[in-house]
Structure 1
């Protein structure tokens, strides 16, 4: 029996050593990375970088984290700064020969260099790192860049996140347009030759430049254009549309218990009727009638000649432009003109790549201080804008929420856990796909119709059974087939057969990437296999909930449930090859 205590001690010692070994192996990873930082299936850690909040900086941190999840913004920053590095520095170091009204040469040069653009890119790059442990950085670099740009200090008191976002986006937009004007002036043939024509140049150049830069593929992704037009219900005259650009849209939240984002858009974009309005065309018609009656009653030849001249000018103005009163003609008093009902319509004519939506919850009461509208605003993952002929779909990528009252509270943000492909080669084989769509007069050396016929009949192809071939030979076959077949044959084959990428094995990554990217615009309308559908839905359902340096995972249902707290929404325009968010 004396051997029993020894056995117990031996077992206890072995268990202790096993526990110590387990802690040594698994303990540091668990305690360093945090509870939300364990490994995923792809080997990545579930954590992102947080931002420190030394003094009421949650309004800055929430906006920066929301911007960090916008792929189009990061792509723009990369392209813009790379373009500045490739071009000669003299383009951005020289002040323009002609300055606009209230512009100063030194400020224009600073805008052309883009210091805030560079600081924001560095900040967003840092926030998009994937650390293996909890990591916190500070937003001080972007704050200092803004303070130097505006030559002022940002107050350390509680501020509005929308105001910070508006200042930041307007500054980025100004730096972009300043660089565009500098490049245009440098490339113009009459550069460096100021003269009498230089004074006329800015007035004629401004609308042309805005037409080129707003809404282009290389333009500022937040910039769009909105137009409003007035139509008289009495005479049917429509005024010229008044256009204005925007970098964010402010939507008023109605004062009721619950509403939706679509209803908020209807308040901004719906047509409204206004009574007691003075129409320009109706006023000219009234003036024409008034002058005609005076002409009938005129007795002297001098008065008749003057009235006939005025009548001719009024008729010419009615034909050409009723909004411009004829020069040299005395019109009757505006109070005598008839009042009419007008219809005012507003629409978005240039849709930005990224639309920032501000839900205005401020309720101003003259008798008391401002209060916060606590109405529930429901919103969805996909947002539809535009009409039937220019329909645009946006997907939700970031949300900024506010908890608290109108004068105090805390901001936090939600950011979709979305991984973008490398911006330089997001679709490396698109050139081959584009070439296959163009009908060529040169006869093809590859009998591609036979390959398409085999696929249509369900026969096996080298892409479907590739155990005995190398990836190089398979890639050659797929590329030759895509280049050689005509456009009509390619479309028919893609619509009548399932995509080969879904049947390819995991041991052929190059072939799978080739077929997926080349046929993505064609297979979007096809039904997806249930397993693929579930995997995409699971990946799209991952979000980060960020409160300064505190980060945890969230689901789409958690994001869409923040109806009372939602304050800023960031939607990104869906491209033709993107997978729809479920």
Structure 2
């Protein structure tokens, strides 16, 4: 992805043209004026997981921009508001895993935990500098050396990988041995493959972010079906194309999991036929992670420098992914809790974050050093659109209240919706549009994960 080197805002006239939006004038008169200058945002990511309510207002500390480090600050704030990961750092539980790990290089996890602790225990709201953390992530991943704008997606992947390696509970990885699981039923085979994975990769990071994907390959000649189970940290979803109607996240999931035909040069070798055969391939999710990361592929295959501007609808709550499960999964209901948001194009832009404070349940905008409450309200049915999505993180099964928020779309303006402490919506309508939905996930019966 090309470097993103510029930050900018789009100034919106105080009075929107009534001829173009006849319904807006009355709505704005009822709800009050909209801000004159807003970021036109291209939605990069959503992080979703559970959270508990309390009265604390900690965690509302900004991060100084060290020079085009908004991509890093945005992801750090999202992870800071990931309650399970935050508590892991606040209670120094990471040190137990560091102590059990014979590896000597643990500086990245230590600096990450120290930064999270500062964000949640500081008596001042003054922004803190993540310079020591940046030094360590640069040592782990030299591609982040310097002050060029980077891709938040790549940063998140490198960061989670680095944190996992340093708190991996497996101090000595067992030697890889070839085992034949093909004689097992798929359910048992998936469990065996997962157990084999965690024998080598077992950490709090894996507990939260890693799931298991099932790939089924069926020979069109003999009907033999072979299955492969692989761990995944995120899923990259193609954007569905429709001649009419709206595109939903479920459409993108269905496109990702639809049966593909492998023919011609793509023919694989059938295990039973011992020859290259026309086959069909299909993905399903064998094991859902607590936090599911979805990447919407916003780049055209022909033009990698331009984003696809297809509108993608995303529900505010209860994203039911059970139809994509390999079996009868009961842990496939998801809601949102944080957003890593990119405004601009591939050639220039700025990263911010929208996060739900896990203590207070209130939503805040994190724009480098600035932290501001997301306090505007609107009534409605809880439906929402996520447009120009690039990244999504999700987890849970929790019933939101009936009084959920209704999006009210205003050209090049933002309307933030907030109902109780459960859901937040942000919508911008334009050629670079975005709607951000945020909810939380819990397991059936309102018990936390």
Query: TM-score surpassing 0.5?
Result: yes
The answer as to whether partners of 2:312 and 2:389 remain within 8 angstroms in 1 is: yes
What are the residue-to-residue correspondences of 1:80-91 with 2, within 5 Å? 81-84=94-97, 87=100
Which residue of the partner structure matches residue 235 of structure 1? 222
The answer as to whether partners of 2:311 and 2:386 remain within 8 angstroms in 1 is: yes
Which structure ranks higher in relative contact order (CA pairs < 8 Å, sequence separation ≥ 6)? 2
Which residue of the partner structure matches residue 367 of structure 2? 547
Decide whether aligned partners of structure 1 residues 248 and 85 sit closer, same or farther in structure 2, where only a CA change above 3 A counts.
Answer: closer
Decide whether aligned partners of structure 1 residues 130 and 80 sit closer, same or farther in structure 2, where only a CA change above 3 A counts.
Answer: closer
Which residue of the partner structure matches residue 306 of structure 2? 371
Matched residue SS, 2:170: helix
What are the residue-to-residue correspondences of 1:41-60 with 2, within 5 Å? 48-60=60-72
Q: Which of 279, 291, 301 in structure 2 is aligned with 1:354? A: 291
Structure of larger gyration radius: 1
Please report the RMSD computed on the Cα atoms of aligned residues, expressed in angstroms. Answer: 3.7
Which residue of the partner structure matches residue 166 of structure 1? 157
**Cα distance between partner residues in 1 of 2:387 and 2:219:** 40
**Cα distance between partner residues in 2 of 1:212 and 1:556:** 48
Decide whether aligned partners of structure 1 residues 385 and 114 sit closer, same or farther in structure 2, where only a CA change above 3 A counts.
Answer: farther
5+ residue gaps, structure 1 = 1-40, 93-108, 186-200, 282-320, 326-333, 420-538
Deviation at residue 377 of structure 1 after TM alignment: 2.0
**Cα distance between partner residues in 1 of 2:58 and 2:447:** 24
The answer as to whether partners of 1:261 and 1:379 remain within 8 angstroms in 2 is: yes
Which residue of the partner structure matches residue 256 of structure 2? 268
**Cα shift readout 1:78-126 (whole Å, capped 9, x = no counterpart):** 5752324664xxx51xxxxxxxxxxxxxxxx44xx43222222222222
Which residue of the partner structure matches residue 124 of structure 1? 116
The answer as to whether partners of 2:164 and 2:205 remain within 8 angstroms in 1 is: no
**Cα shift readout 1:353-411 (whole Å, capped 9, x = no counterpart):** 21222222122435xx6101122222223332334611322231111111111211111
What are the residue-to-residue correspondences of 1:188-267 with 2, within 5 Å? 201-203=175-177, 209-212=196-199, 219-239=206-226, 241-254=227-240, 258-267=246-255
Number of positions where the alignment pairs a residue of Structure 1 with one of Structure 2: 327
Which residue of the partner structure matches residue 180 of structure 1? 170
**Cα distance between partner residues in 1 of 2:106 and 2:58:** 34
**Cα distance between partner residues in 2 of 1:75 and 1:47:** 12
**Cα distance between partner residues in 2 of 1:212 and 1:418:** 32
Deviation at residue 556 of structure 1 after TM alignment: 9.5
**Cα shift readout 1:397-428 (whole Å, capped 9, x = no counterpart):** 11111111121111111111222xxxxxxxxx
Decide whether aligned partners of structure 1 residues 219 and 364 sit closer, same or farther in structure 2, where only a CA change above 3 A counts.
Answer: closer
Q: Are residues 1:383 and 2:319 paired?
A: yes
Which residue of the partner structure matches residue 422 of structure 2? none
The answer as to whether partners of 1:48 and 1:130 remain within 8 angstroms in 2 is: no
Q: TM-score, normalised by structure 2?
A: 0.62
The answer as to whether partners of 2:62 and 2:366 remain within 8 angstroms in 1 is: yes
Q: Which is helix-richer, 1 or 2?
A: 1
Which residue of the partner structure matches residue 77 of structure 2? 65
**Cα distance between partner residues in 1 of 2:145 and 2:253:** 32
Q: TM-score, normalised by structure 1?
A: 0.49
